[in-house]
Homo-oligomer: A and B are copies of this chain.
Amino acid sequence: MGALADPLRLAIVGVLSRGEHCVCDIRAELPVAENLLSYHLRVLREAKLLTATRQGRWVYYRLDPDGFAALWAALAAAGVPLPGEAVATGRAGRSCAEGEVAP
């Protein structure tokens, strides 16, 4: 998680969600320093959300379906209500106020 917490990285994912792109094309859509883009691409790569392949002089990035699947699985395991899931809003067992404020 946290890899999607940066607006630039979210924008990168947005570009790549339309298909594979090389760094120079990403940079054409996102006006940002080459350094910075490389840094954020690395963060996303280390988060397993992106994969990179070199072709000649260019490096092509694409989204990693397995990484996103793992992300959603981890969130689900942590108890985060994913889209389409019901959100529990009822009262759970309480220990600190046991029977003090009976409804």
Contacts and interface: CB of A to CB of B under 8 A. Distances in A.
A46 interface: no
A22 B96 contact: yes
Copies in the complex: 2
Contacts of A65: 81, 87, 89
A28 interface: yes
A17 B79 contact: yes
20 contacts: A1-B5, A2-B2, A5-B5, A10-B75, A14-B78, A17-B88, A18-B92, A19-B88, A20-B89, A20-B90, A20-B91, A22-B94, A22-B97, A25-B95, A58-B96, A62-B89, A68-B87, A69-B83, A72-B82, A82-B83
Interface of A: 1-2, 4-6, 10-11, 13-22, 24-25, 28, 55-56, 58, 62-65, 68-69, 72, 75, 78-84, 87-92, 94-97, 101
